[in-house]
Amino acid sequence: MEINAAPVAEVAAARLPRTSTARFWHREGLLLIPFLTPALLFYAVFLLLPLAGTIALSFTEWSGFNVADIEWVGLANFEELGNDPIFWQSLRHNLTFLFGSVVLKTAVALLLALALDQNLPFSNFFRGVYLMPTVISLVVVGIVFTLVLSPSLGLVNPLLEAIGLGDYTRAWLGDPDTVLPLIIVIDAWHGFGLYMFLFISRLIAIPQDLHDAAFVDGASGVQDILHITLPLMKSMVAMVVLLAAIESLKMFALVFILTRGGPNHASEVLSSWAYFQGFTANKVGYGSAILVVLLIITFILAYIQVTRFQPKDEY
Amino acid sequence: MTKHTHARTLHLLVVVLVLLAPVFTAPMRGSAAAQPSGEVKLWTEFTAGGEKTGIEALIAAWQAKNNGVSINHRPIGNEQFFTVIRTGIAGGEPPDLLQWEGYQQTRDFAKAGQIVDLTEWWNTHKANFDLQDAAERACTFEGKIYCVPYTYHTGWQVYYNPAILEENGIQVPTNYEEFLAAAETLKGNGVTPIAFGGKDGWPGEHWYMAFLVQRCGVAGVYSAIEGTGAKFTDPCFVQAAADFQNLVEKEYFSQGAASDDYGTAQAIFLSGQAAFFQTGSWFASGWDQTPPEIEIGIMPFPRMADSAFPNDVTGAVTHTFGIPTAAENPEAAMAVLDWMASPEGAAIWAQNGNLSMVAGAVDTSAPQTIKDLWTNVKAAQAALPWIENELPPGVGEDKVYTGTVALITGDMTPEQFSQSIQEALDASRT
């Protein structure tokens, strides 16, 4: 039997305003306003306004003591960046940090998610254990690792000596060669738990039928992971990479607590250098210019991720 | 005189009295209006030791007066303090009474028109203070005084552990050569000679300064800071940096010299793991309230036999008080400040182990340890304040602070360290 739906649609269309925008407002707009307004207000007041302020300040010279002293200097702050070796050093550190931290966090989180998805004994216990570092404040993490890694009062060097590896003891955070890799490892330790949970949530969403079909066709466990699971995880991996990358670029608290950017700028990142310029050297405009560069890098990364790494077909 | 005339005179008197009433009562009403009242918001960095107990005792004594002015104190940790007060001032939400660290901070606040000119108050009360020249240097901008000096901190001492020295057969060093010999003996015996945490930069700067005043003198250092002849690249400045790096190279500092902070170094010393600890007089300020668990001796910073400036030391007016121009209750704030700088207020401050700058307060009220430190301060010919407060912030807190850490890690030679300071200083003047 043929169902003719046209008359119903025509009746409905006749009741609604003609344009899609008008239709939207007629149907849901009024209902959305009370739900969206609080969030939009917070977004505008605590993100958009400070963001606009930072961008505006990057074109000024200001000591930060009196708003009346703000002086427009155009692109002078950005020109100064070119001659600031610490800025370039910080940028390099940010990129190193970005690469190292993203790779570590993603790899560890994915491997553990795959392992915990196998329903091994104590899987739920370990899920909780691995998530614990994520819920600890970065400031607390920084203070704890400062003490643990201290050559004088810490635990690491005595432990190495106790197991016969005394030759490897060192001033971990005071050595320009080890400080940055260490911060990357600490950051990865702190952050991988959340990403592991994101991966697990995606793994659970993969239909069991697909795995069953693969096994019926003779696939091994490894082949199932390589050819069924991982391809279906692409969108989640892309999201985790983006989130981890943005988190790495924003890195401040850990660096500030652990090293203050030292020794001798060996762990300086853009945000800590911007903080120093703005709040210690009384160069708020210059500090803002550094943050604008950081903002641009973050936007570029987000744009690439959103436009290039969105899978088209996924269960 | 008739009855009628009496009545008229009486009426006239009443009219005159009514007309004159405002004249008589005006001064009374005026004095009532001038009487400050309400709440005084006070921000300080007094969060520990004798500073904490001192400000608490001062506030308790003031509140007990019940004079209509109450104090609402906000203690802010040293690391965040300057950021917080600057944000408060720039944002138009300062407290009524503010403590800061004088020198460059005074100049920054005053230049921005954010603090009240207290020249008149100072000229009236100046005679009540010790070390008036140092006080004026900390509080002056363009010939005017913007703050009241309150606490002096001396850096010219080394704390030592008598038990460790005795165990290793070492006498308390009386000069730098003996100090180096003691350090060598201690190192040879497997004892850490000096507890040191240079992560934040300023502990290294304080060691560097102790050598600077001996090699270049206070006047020489100021000449370099002000660009009136000397330069940081001059041999005496380079030598001072080399003196500091020498301690690192000889491995006299505790292991985490570049990465440990001041608190860790203090913990190393207080737990008996190192023999010496060089820091300011603030370390001893709370000992009366919470005595250290080990016996601690204090000796003057060991002077080099060939020191060209045998009477110069390090120390500074570290706590000053002033009133922001945007304060809501400046009259009440001034009343509180006036009392804090009185003999009564200064005595309370000194009792709690602080080097009060009000004349006589330390001598009459402070614990013996603090009195001894004060005697040394007053015996010195000249004192070099913490140089990061006299240099532009980008020079002091970057090139000097970071540079001392670079000297520890070996990333800089004394020449490079000195060169980087001078270059940054030159750049700041252009």
Closest residue in B to A179 (Cα–Cα): B259
What's the CA gap between A298 and A292, in Å, rounded?
Answer: 10
Identify whether the C-beta of residue B327 lies closer than 8 Å to the C-beta of residue B38.
no
B394 Cβ under 8 Å from any chain A Cβ: yes
Residues A92 and A33 in one domain: no
Identify whether the C-beta of residue A278 lies closer than 8 Å to the C-beta of residue A271.
no
Q: Inter-chain contact B256–A282, Cβ cutoff 8 Å?
A: no
Q: Residue type for B291, please?
A: P
Whether residue A176 lies inside any domain: the answer is yes
Q: For B409, which of A63, A174, A277 is closest by C-beta distance?
A: A174
Residues A37 and A87 in one domain: no
Residues A123 and A16 in one domain: no
Whether residue A173 lies inside any domain: the answer is yes
Q: Residue type for B318, please?
A: T
Residues A108 and A238 in one domain: yes
Q: For B405, which of A65, A263, A276 is closest by C-beta distance?
A: A263
Residues of A in contact with B406 (CB under 8 A): 263-264
Whether residue A96 lies inside any domain: the answer is yes
Q: Inter-chain contact B273–A152, Cβ cutoff 8 Å?
A: yes
Q: Inter-chain contact B405–A152, Cβ cutoff 8 Å?
A: no
What mean pLDDT is predicted for residues B215-242? 96
Closest approach of A137 to chain B, Cα-based (Å): 18
Residue B152 scores a pLDDT above 90 = yes
Residue A306 scores a pLDDT above 90 = no
Identify whether the C-beta of residue B120 lies closer than 8 Å to the C-beta of residue B334.
no
- Please tell me the least confidently modeled range out of A116-130, A188-202, B348-362: A116-130
Q: Which domains does chain B show, CATH number per domain?
A: 37-154+316-384 (3.40.190.10), 157-313+388-429 (3.40.190.10)
DSSP string covering A26-55, please? IIIIHHHHHHHHHHHHHHIIIIIHHHHHHH
Q: What is the pLDDT of residues B355-411, one digit of tens each?
A: 999 999 999 999 999 999 998 888 888 899 999 989 988 899 899 999 999 999 999
Residues A145 and A284 in one domain: yes
Cβ atoms < 10 Å from Cβ of B297: 13
Spatial neighbors of A273 by CB under 8 A, at least 6 apart, are A86, A87, A90, A261, A290
Q: Inter-chain contact A153–B402, Cβ cutoff 8 Å?
A: no
Q: Inter-chain contact B82–A279, Cβ cutoff 8 Å?
A: yes
What's the CA gap between A213 and B363, in Å, rounded?
Answer: 91
Q: Which helix (H) or strand (E) holds B419?
A: helix B414-429
Q: Give the tokens for residue B134.
A: 């140092």
Q: B99 - beta bridge partners?
A: B321
The count of domains in chain A is 2
CATH value at residue A289: 1.10.3720.10
Residue B316 phi/psi, 5-degree rounding, is: -155, 160
Confidence of residue A26 (pLDDT cuts 50, 70, 90): low
What's the CA gap between B299 and B302, in Å, rounded?
Answer: 8
In chain B, how many H helices and how many E strands? 19, 12
- Considering chain A, what percentage of its residues have pLDDT values greater than 90? 53
Whether residue A62 lies inside any domain: the answer is no
- Please tell me the least confidently modeled range out of A150-164, B141-155, B221-235: A150-164
Interface test with B, best of A144, A152, A257, A258 (most B CBs within 10 A): A152
Q: What is the pLDDT of residues B1-13, one digit of tens each?
A: 455 556 566 565 5
Lookup result for tokens 């009392």: B339
Give the pLDDT confidence score for residue B13 in this predicted structure: 57
What's the CA gap between B224 and B233, in Å, rounded?
Answer: 9
Smallest CA-to-CA distance from B53 within B226, B282, B325, B378 is with B282
What mean pLDDT is predicted for residues B262-291? 92
Give the pLDDT confidence score for residue B340 in this predicted structure: 96
Q: Inter-chain contact B90–A64, Cβ cutoff 8 Å?
A: yes
What's the CA gap between A191 and A132, in Å, rounded?
Answer: 10
Whether residue A136 lies inside any domain: the answer is yes
Residues A33 and A100 in one domain: no
Residues A92 and A28 in one domain: no
Residues A15 and A105 in one domain: no
Range list of β-strands (E), B45-171 = 69-75, 97-100, 140-141, 144-145, 148-154, 157-160
What's the CA gap between B354 and B376, in Å, rounded?
Answer: 15
Smallest CA-to-CA distance from B399 within B260, B224, B172, B255 is with B224
Residue A53 scores a pLDDT above 90 = yes
Q: Residue B385: helix, strand or coil by DSSP?
A: coil
What's the CA gap between B16 and B3, in Å, rounded?
Answer: 20
Q: Inter-chain contact B86–A65, Cβ cutoff 8 Å?
A: yes
Residues A124 and A240 in one domain: yes
User: What ipTM was predicted for this assembly?
Assistant: 0.83
For residue B370, what are the CA distances in angstroms to A257, B58, B379? 33, 18, 14
Q: Residue B158: helix, strand or coil by DSSP?
A: strand
Interface test with A, best of B200, B260, B269, B395 (most A CBs within 10 A): B260
Whether residue A119 lies inside any domain: the answer is yes
**Contacts A–B by Cβ distance under 8 A:** 119
Confidence of residue B30 (pLDDT cuts 50, 70, 90): very low
What's the CA gap between B15 and B8, in Å, rounded?
Answer: 11
- Please tell me the least confidently modeled range out of A77-81, B23-27, B225-229, B245-249: B23-27
Q: What is the pTM for the complete model shown?
A: 0.84
Residues of B in contact with A152 (CB under 8 A): 192, 254-256, 260, 264, 268, 273
What's the CA gap between A11 and A5, in Å, rounded?
Answer: 10
Residue B24 scores a pLDDT above 50 = no
- In this structure, the dihedral spanned by the alpha carbons of residues B124, B39, B345 and B376, taken in order and rounded to 10 degrees, is -80
What's the CA gap between B351 and B260, in Å, rounded?
Answer: 32
Residues A21 and A161 in one domain: no
Whether residue A67 lies inside any domain: the answer is no
Whether residue A170 lies inside any domain: the answer is yes
What's the CA gap between B420 and B398, in Å, rounded?
Answer: 10
Give the pLDDT confidence score for residue B14 in this predicted structure: 54
Q: What is the pLDDT of residues A158-169, one digit of tens each?
A: 999 999 998 888
What's the CA gap between A215 and A225, in Å, rounded?
Answer: 11
DSSP string covering B293-345, please? SS--EEEEPPPPTT-S-TTEEEEEEEEEEE-BTT-S-HHHHHHHHHHHTSHHH
Residues A35 and A122 in one domain: no
Give the pLDDT confidence score for residue A152 in this predicted structure: 86
Closest residue in B to A69 (Cα–Cα): B112
Q: What is the pLDDT of residues B206-224, one digit of tens each?
A: 999 999 999 999 999 999 9
Q: What is the pLDDT of residues A229-259, one digit of tens each?
A: 999 988 889 889 888 988 888 899 999 999 9
- The range of the structural domain enclosing residue A284 comes to 82-308
What mean pLDDT is predicted for residues B411-415? 96
Residue B156 scores a pLDDT above 70 = yes
Residues A154 and A18 in one domain: no
B397 Cβ under 8 Å from any chain A Cβ: yes
Give the pLDDT confidence score for residue B29 in this predicted structure: 39
B199 Cβ under 8 Å from any chain A Cβ: yes
Q: What is the pLDDT of residues A255-285, one digit of tens each?
A: 999 999 989 999 999 999 999 999 889 999 9
Q: Inter-chain contact A174–B112, Cβ cutoff 8 Å?
A: no
Residue B16 scores a pLDDT above 80 = no
